Amino acid sequence: MKALTLSLLCLTALASQAQASSPDAWAAYDKTVLASCTKASGLKTPKPVGSPAQFDDRVGYTAVLLQGTYPQKHMKGQQGTELCLYNKQSKTAFITEWDSIRPTAKTQ
């Protein structure tokens, strides 16, 4: 009886892990991350650039690169780039400007 109970517990654990890794679960997670990062962004109409970077669970973060326009009047609609780090455990988004990721225009 103990062996049967242990087997059922193992199967339940495996089934929940498989469900958590399903495409639908990843899509829902990505949607949550993007919503949190967009809300935390200081840019006007921020949009993701590429796909989220999923770090190992030991790191605990997902990274998203966002682009949009600076809302400040003195920025005159200049495009900006931000890096968002989403903490999986606390479900919190942290934003930093990362305009240096874009290549600078070369003068001739």
Higher pLDDT, 60 or 102: 60
Nearest CA to 80 out of 107, 52, 50, 41 is that of: 41
**For residue 1, is pLDDT > 90?**
no
In this prediction, residues 61-69 reach a mean pLDDT of 97
Over range 22-41, report the average pLDDT: 96
- DSSP three-state, residue 36: helix
Distance between alpha carbon 36 and the CA centroid of its chain, in Å?
8
> Using 50, 70 and 90 to split pLDDT, how confident is the model at 101?
confident
Once rounded to an integer, what is the mean pLDDT over residues 80-105? 91
Q: Tell me the pLDDT band of 60, cut-offs 50, 70 and 90.
A: very high
Check residue 107 and report its DSSP letter: P
The pLDDT value recorded for residue 102 is: 75
